[in-house]
Amino acid sequence: MPEPGNNYRLTDFQSALGLSQLAKLDRFWARRDRLAGRYRDRLSGSPFVELPALPRELRHGWHLFVVMLRLERLGADRDTIVEALRAENIGATVHYPLVYRHTFYRERFGDSAGLCPAAETVEARLVTLPLFPAMTEGDQDDVLHALDKVFAHYAR
Protein backbone atom coordinates (compact mmCIF):
# COMPACT_ATOMS: atom_id res chain seq x y z
CA MET A 1 0.00 0.00 0.00
CA PRO A 2 1.81 3.16 -1.16
CA GLU A 3 -0.72 5.58 0.37
CA PRO A 4 -3.54 5.09 2.90
CA GLY A 5 -7.14 5.45 1.79
CA ASN A 6 -8.97 4.81 -1.44
CA ASN A 7 -12.02 5.92 -3.36
CA TYR A 8 -14.30 2.89 -3.34
CA ARG A 9 -17.14 4.51 -5.29
CA LEU A 10 -18.19 2.44 -8.28
CA THR A 11 -18.66 3.70 -11.81
CA ASP A 12 -22.06 3.18 -13.46
CA PHE A 13 -20.60 0.32 -15.49
CA GLN A 14 -19.14 -1.38 -12.40
CA SER A 15 -22.49 -0.98 -10.64
CA ALA A 16 -24.38 -2.56 -13.54
CA LEU A 17 -21.91 -5.43 -13.65
CA GLY A 18 -22.21 -5.87 -9.89
CA LEU A 19 -25.99 -5.98 -10.04
CA SER A 20 -25.85 -8.69 -12.71
CA GLN A 21 -23.49 -10.70 -10.50
CA LEU A 22 -25.88 -10.51 -7.53
CA ALA A 23 -28.22 -12.88 -9.37
CA LYS A 24 -25.43 -15.48 -9.24
CA LEU A 25 -24.51 -14.90 -5.60
CA ASP A 26 -26.28 -17.93 -4.12
CA ARG A 27 -24.81 -20.22 -6.77
CA PHE A 28 -21.30 -18.79 -6.27
CA TRP A 29 -21.59 -19.11 -2.49
CA ALA A 30 -22.90 -22.70 -2.71
CA ARG A 31 -20.00 -23.66 -4.96
CA ARG A 32 -17.42 -22.06 -2.67
CA ASP A 33 -19.06 -23.70 0.34
CA ARG A 34 -18.86 -27.15 -1.29
CA LEU A 35 -15.22 -26.63 -2.20
CA ALA A 36 -14.38 -25.34 1.28
CA GLY A 37 -16.12 -28.41 2.71
CA ARG A 38 -13.95 -30.66 0.54
CA TYR A 39 -10.82 -28.86 1.77
CA ARG A 40 -11.99 -29.20 5.36
CA ASP A 41 -12.83 -32.90 4.97
CA ARG A 42 -9.54 -33.70 3.29
CA LEU A 43 -7.29 -31.58 5.54
CA SER A 44 -9.03 -32.13 8.88
CA GLY A 45 -6.63 -34.91 9.90
CA SER A 46 -3.47 -33.29 8.57
CA PRO A 47 -0.69 -32.86 11.10
CA PHE A 48 0.65 -29.97 9.01
CA VAL A 49 -2.23 -27.46 8.99
CA GLU A 50 -4.80 -25.88 11.27
CA LEU A 51 -8.12 -25.16 9.60
CA PRO A 52 -10.21 -22.02 10.06
CA ALA A 53 -12.78 -22.13 12.84
CA LEU A 54 -16.32 -22.60 11.59
CA PRO A 55 -19.00 -21.83 14.20
CA ARG A 56 -22.21 -23.72 13.40
CA GLU A 57 -24.42 -20.65 13.70
CA LEU A 58 -22.53 -18.72 11.00
CA ARG A 59 -22.66 -18.92 7.21
CA HIS A 60 -19.10 -18.39 6.00
CA GLY A 61 -18.66 -16.52 2.73
CA TRP A 62 -15.43 -18.36 1.82
CA HIS A 63 -13.93 -15.36 0.08
CA LEU A 64 -10.60 -17.05 0.86
CA PHE A 65 -9.57 -20.43 2.24
CA VAL A 66 -6.70 -19.76 4.62
CA VAL A 67 -4.87 -22.45 6.55
CA MET A 68 -2.32 -22.04 9.31
CA LEU A 69 0.80 -24.12 8.84
CA ARG A 70 2.14 -26.09 11.78
CA LEU A 71 5.70 -25.05 11.07
CA GLU A 72 7.03 -27.01 14.03
CA ARG A 73 6.19 -30.15 11.99
CA LEU A 74 7.70 -28.87 8.76
CA GLY A 75 11.35 -28.25 7.98
CA ALA A 76 10.58 -25.06 6.08
CA ASP A 77 9.06 -21.65 6.61
CA ARG A 78 5.80 -20.43 5.10
CA ASP A 79 7.40 -18.74 2.10
CA THR A 80 9.30 -21.91 1.18
CA ILE A 81 6.05 -23.91 1.35
CA VAL A 82 4.26 -21.34 -0.84
CA GLU A 83 7.10 -21.40 -3.40
CA ALA A 84 7.06 -25.22 -3.42
CA LEU A 85 3.30 -25.17 -4.09
CA ARG A 86 3.81 -22.64 -6.88
CA ALA A 87 6.48 -24.92 -8.37
CA GLU A 88 3.70 -27.55 -8.50
CA ASN A 89 1.60 -25.01 -10.45
CA ILE A 90 -0.64 -24.24 -7.46
CA GLY A 91 -1.60 -20.60 -6.96
CA ALA A 92 -1.03 -20.51 -3.22
CA THR A 93 -0.74 -16.97 -1.90
CA VAL A 94 -0.28 -14.94 1.25
CA HIS A 95 -2.99 -12.43 2.06
CA TYR A 96 -3.17 -9.35 4.18
CA PRO A 97 0.20 -8.60 5.72
CA LEU A 98 0.16 -6.73 8.99
CA VAL A 99 -0.67 -3.06 8.42
CA TYR A 100 2.68 -1.80 9.67
CA ARG A 101 4.49 -3.95 7.09
CA HIS A 102 2.98 -1.97 4.19
CA THR A 103 5.31 0.41 2.33
CA PHE A 104 3.49 3.55 3.44
CA TYR A 105 3.96 2.78 7.13
CA ARG A 106 7.50 1.40 6.80
CA GLU A 107 8.64 4.53 4.97
CA ARG A 108 7.14 6.85 7.56
CA PHE A 109 7.70 4.94 10.79
CA GLY A 110 10.55 2.58 9.99
CA ASP A 111 10.81 -1.12 10.61
CA SER A 112 8.30 -2.11 13.27
CA ALA A 113 9.31 -5.77 13.54
CA GLY A 114 8.37 -7.05 16.96
CA LEU A 115 5.59 -4.50 17.46
CA CYS A 116 2.93 -7.23 17.62
CA PRO A 117 4.81 -10.50 18.18
CA ALA A 118 1.73 -12.74 18.44
CA ALA A 119 0.28 -11.34 15.21
CA GLU A 120 3.66 -11.73 13.49
CA THR A 121 3.84 -15.37 14.57
CA VAL A 122 0.40 -16.07 13.13
CA GLU A 123 1.07 -14.09 9.94
CA ALA A 124 4.22 -16.12 9.29
CA ARG A 125 2.14 -19.32 9.26
CA LEU A 126 -0.85 -18.33 7.07
CA VAL A 127 -1.29 -19.59 3.50
CA THR A 128 -4.26 -19.00 1.20
CA LEU A 129 -5.23 -21.98 -0.94
CA PRO A 130 -6.96 -21.52 -4.30
CA LEU A 131 -10.75 -21.23 -4.02
CA PHE A 132 -13.00 -19.72 -6.69
CA PRO A 133 -16.46 -20.52 -8.11
CA ALA A 134 -15.13 -21.91 -11.40
CA MET A 135 -12.73 -24.26 -9.61
CA THR A 136 -13.44 -27.90 -10.46
CA GLU A 137 -13.06 -30.80 -8.08
CA GLY A 138 -10.20 -31.93 -10.32
CA ASP A 139 -8.50 -28.56 -9.80
CA GLN A 140 -8.95 -28.96 -6.08
CA ASP A 141 -7.61 -32.52 -6.19
CA ASP A 142 -4.49 -31.08 -7.86
CA VAL A 143 -4.10 -28.64 -4.94
CA LEU A 144 -4.55 -31.42 -2.39
CA HIS A 145 -2.09 -33.70 -4.20
CA ALA A 146 0.49 -30.89 -4.31
CA LEU A 147 -0.02 -30.23 -0.59
CA ASP A 148 0.57 -33.92 0.14
CA LYS A 149 3.74 -33.87 -1.98
CA VAL A 150 5.12 -30.67 -0.44
CA PHE A 151 4.27 -31.71 3.11
CA ALA A 152 5.87 -35.14 2.59
CA HIS A 153 9.02 -33.45 1.30
CA TYR A 154 9.31 -31.03 4.23
CA ALA A 155 7.90 -33.20 7.04
CA ARG A 156 10.09 -33.48 10.14
> CB 119: neighbour CB atoms within 10 A?
12
Say if 6 falls within a structural domain: no
Q: Kindly report the length of the chain.
A: 156
Is 40 in contact with 51 (CB distance < 8 Å)? yes
Say if 30 falls within a structural domain: yes
Q: What CATH number should be reported for the domain holding residue 46?
A: 3.90.1150.10
Question: Per-residue pLDDT tens for 6-25?
Answer: 778 899 999 999 999 999 99
Q: How far apart are CA 77 and CA 34, in angstroms?
A: 30
Range of the domain at 119: 12-154
Say if 112 falls within a structural domain: yes
Please report the pLDDT score of residue 5 as a whole number: 73
Say if 44 falls within a structural domain: yes
Q: How far apart are CA 127 and CA 125, in angstroms?
A: 7
Say if 7 falls within a structural domain: no
Instruction: Walk across the sheet containing 49-50 and list its strands.
Output: 49-50, 65-69, 126-129
Number of structural domains (the chain) is: 1
Please report the pLDDT score of residue 1 as a whole number: 62
Q: φ and ψ at 74, to 5 degrees?
A: -125, 140
Say if 119 falls within a structural domain: yes
Q: Integer distance in angstroms from the first to the last C-alpha of the chain?
A: 36
Question: What is the per-residue DSSP string for 42-108?
Answer: HHTT-TTEEPPP--TT-----S-EEEEE-GGGBSS-HHHHHHHHHHTT---B-----GGGSHHHHHH
Q: Which residues, given as ranges, of the chain have pLDDT below 70? A: 1-2
Say if 148 falls within a structural domain: yes
Say if 2 falls within a structural domain: no
**Predicted structure pTM score:** 0.88
